[in-house]
Amino acid sequence: MKRTIRSTALTVGALISSLGLPAGTAHADTATPRIDLRVLVVSDGDPSTDAIAAELDAAGTPYTEVDLQQAGRPVIDAGFLADTVNGTPRAKFQAVVLPNDNPFAADSPEMAALAAYEQTYTIPQVDAYTYARPEAGLQNPAGGGYSGSVDGVQAQVTAAGKAGPFDYLDGSVPFEDNSPDVVESYAYLSTPAAGADFTPYVDAPIPGQSTRGSLVGEYRHDGRRELVVTFVYNQYQQQFRLLARGIVEWMTGGVHLGASRNYFAVHVDDVFLGDDRWDTTLNCTPGDIDCPQGAGVENPIRMTPADVDYATAWESRQNFTFDFAFNGAGSVDQREGNNGVDVLADKLIADRDKFRWINHTYTHPFLGCAQDTTVVPWKCATNADGSTQWVSGTTISDEIATNRAWGQAAGLPLENGELITGEHSGLRLLPQQPEDNPNLAPALAANGVTWLGSDNSREPGQRQVGPATTVPRYPMNVFYNAGKAAEQVDEYNWIYTSRAQGGSGVCEDHADTSSCLSAPLDTSTGYTDYIVPLETRIDLGHVLSNDPKPHFMHQSNLAEERIGYPVLDGVLNGYNALFADNTPVVNLRMQDIGTELQRRAAWKAALAAGQVTAYRVGDTVTVQAPAGVAVTATMPTGTTYGGSGFGDAYAGEVSGWTASAGTPLTLTLASSTPSLSATVDVGGKAAATRTTPRTRVPAGVSEQVPYTPDD
């Protein structure tokens, strides 16, 4: 799919003349303006503008979207953009995002109004994706630049970018190349136009030349500032995810509501247990309910003391902490069958302070309905009256309490409010069990459980289960029943290939299934060459999306061939190669992740209800939110609140949550924070409505909508 970019040239000097004001003239009747902390996003359905809106959404940064394709949309004029509040001039938006440098029709009074507004209040404009041309501060690519695919290109943050909005990056900005059949990244590479005040922030080599062309840069002209982006992207692509923070910080001057960090947590389930092993002949796992009863040899996979040593050394090397979800019965059974000996448990308990620990129930039973395994797939067993047979509340409570007591006796540093049930059981499970076990919530209450792990692939949102709030976890495509790469690949082939190729046919039955294969992978190379890069890309995508949800794998993946580590190293090593030291991965434990998600939900609900007010006047930022709703904001280093430093340092700024009592919160910006327009005319002059000329993109030049990878 292609669409042609439309654009219009107009100088602000002409706009100011149409206002009746000489450029740079200040009236005697002036005041320091109020700038509302809200972004105006003008969209025409393009993926790049939508990507920026998604970034603002994820961070909790308020914005107003005007869809140019929507009938009855508001008209962007002087009254829409600015007014006065108690005699103080108010700019209603701190930044403007446009699909390109001018998406309006020829002779548009709306573009004239925007340009005059930006000049008057020193409001920056982001051109989400525009053609390189003199009106955007760049030479036309036809005159020595390049237009076309940049798949696989290694772009670079320039010195100006590192000293400016992209200081959180190490320098490299790799462009994805995930499919050889699709142009995923289309760009215009060009150098600044003659005489233009243009500073490239991100550039790349121009093919066939010794020069580099801008991909992201700042164009200053006529009292305005534009961030000119000349490559197309969507919200999932890595190149955008790397640059999204800098785009927002540039447009807001680092002063905005909301916050963004890069999170990664890994839960390792079934610690102390042995996980059943995939049978490459039966194409199932002996011991599981989908495998013929009595068939095969279970031959479980269980960590060893050497695996524990490897895990602690790996944590030290990566500056990372695992969360071990444990089942105490695994050690009890091991000792009973080995004259009281369990060298794994002895080692883990000796090293207990090197990990975080989560109650995973004592024996890892299924805690939902009683399962009728006489049919495939299984179904919930029923009573004589047709009602569902449920695992009792006593059983659920005993599983929680016994495992907790075992862990406490072993000296494990537990947070008693955290729980992950085996297979996330007890929670609703479609299609067999469409509702929670009604005995689950009372058992959670009886045991003081406040955070309950859930499966993000089933339930991506948080919800309440009695006193507990769920914490959705991303399942990693490293299987619980594989300790060796060949086992993992064999099972992967079975799941994701067609029946004609010896597979399960799930992709034939469910066309929306991700990770489907056109042909089976080689069992000797498929893990390293295909599965690891794919899973790494998916998981790193979560990390780069301001998503705190944890990932989970199993203790079997840290045993034998330790097949979990190549993915984990891929994520962390890949991350560290991209980001500066001031932007570390944030590694939270489960209850802190749950709290972060809960705060975000309350904040976004308050924003949606119009209950948050925030604005800047000079060096003072005022924020008001409903009582009990914590306020989140990002501010320049040195910002104070109540006489103390605000927030925590991250990515060259400070950000965090502040409790709200429903009264205004006042933040004081550091004296080094760039100021906005010092004074604004309060005489009520209207924005320009001058007609504007229109310039089209050269004939035959078009953009391509990028490929969206599986997530």
Question: Which pLDDT value is given to residue 33?
Answer: 96
Question: Which pLDDT value is given to residue 676?
Answer: 63
Average of per-residue pLDDT values in the chain: 91
Mean pLDDT within 354-383:
95
Rg of the Cα atoms in the chain: 29
Instruction: Summarize pLDDT for 470-510 with one digit per residue, the tens.
Output: 999 999 999 999 999 999 999 999 999 999 999 999 988 88
Q: At what angle do helices 564-578 and 532-543 cross, to 10 degrees?
A: 50
User: 266-590, which class in CATH?
Assistant: alpha beta
Share of the chain above pLDDT 90, in %: 84
How far is residue 509's CA from residue 498's CA, in Å, rounded to a whole number? 10
How far is residue 150's CA from residue 204's CA, in Å, rounded to a whole number? 9
SS3 at position 572: helix
Mean pLDDT within 375-404:
96
pLDDT at 114 over 50: yes
How far is residue 181's CA from residue 518's CA, in Å, rounded to a whole number? 14
Question: Which pLDDT value is given to residue 31?
Answer: 81
Question: Which pLDDT value is given to residue 672?
Answer: 77
Question: Which pLDDT value is given to residue 289?
Answer: 81
Instruction: Summarize pLDDT for 196-255 with one digit per residue, the tens.
Output: 999 999 999 999 999 999 999 999 999 999 999 999 999 999 999 999 999 999 999 999
User: In sequence order, which ranges of 552-699 are alpha helices (DSSP H)?
Assistant: 564-578, 590-608
Question: Which pLDDT value is given to residue 338?
Answer: 97
Instruction: Summarize pLDDT for 16-38 with one digit per residue, the tens.
Output: 344 333 333 334 456 899 999 99
**Stronger pLDDT, 685 or 506, i.e. the higher one:** 506
Q: Tell me which amino acid residue 214 is.
A: S
Length of the chain, in residues: 711
Question: Which pLDDT value is given to residue 485?
Answer: 98
Mean pLDDT within 6-15:
38
Question: Which pLDDT value is given to residue 513?
Answer: 80
How far is residue 443's CA from residue 449's CA, in Å, rounded to a whole number? 9
SS3 at position 567: helix
CATH 3.30.70 fits 13-22+33-253+689-698, yes or no: no
Closest CA to 187 of 128, 127, 103, 131: 131
How far is residue 33's CA from residue 463's CA, in Å, rounded to a whole number? 42
Closest CA to 492 of 502, 500, 152: 502
The answer to whether 414 touches 404, Cβ cutoff 8 Å, is yes
pTM for the whole structure = 0.91
Band of the pLDDT at 370, cuts 50, 70, 90? very high
Question: Which pLDDT value is given to residue 92?
Answer: 98
Band of the pLDDT at 692, cuts 50, 70, 90? very low
Question: Which pLDDT value is given to residue 180?
Answer: 86
pLDDT at 2 over 90: no
Ranges for all domains in the chain classified under CATH 3.20.20: 266-590
Band of the pLDDT at 11, cuts 50, 70, 90? very low
Band of the pLDDT at 699, cuts 50, 70, 90? very low
Mean pLDDT within 416-441:
97
Ranges for all domains in the chain classified under CATH 3.40.50: 13-22+33-253+689-698
Question: Which pLDDT value is given to residue 424?
Answer: 98
Instruction: Summarize pLDDT for 586-636 with one digit per residue, the tens.
Output: 999 999 999 999 999 999 999 999 999 999 999 999 999 999 999 999 999
Question: Which pLDDT value is given to residue 367?
Answer: 98
Tokens of 72: 């009855």
pLDDT at 127 over 70: yes
Band of the pLDDT at 677, cuts 50, 70, 90? low
Q: Which of 41-55, 136-150, 657-671, 697-711 has the lowest mean pLDDT?
A: 697-711
Tokens of 638: 């040195």
Instruction: Summarize pLDDT for 301-335 with one digit per residue, the tens.
Output: 999 999 999 999 999 999 999 999 999 999 999 99
Share of the chain above pLDDT 70, in %: 90
Question: Which pLDDT value is given to residue 680?
Answer: 61
Q: Which of 54-58, 454-458, 652-656, 698-702 has the lowest mean pLDDT?
A: 698-702
Question: Which pLDDT value is given to residue 656?
Answer: 96
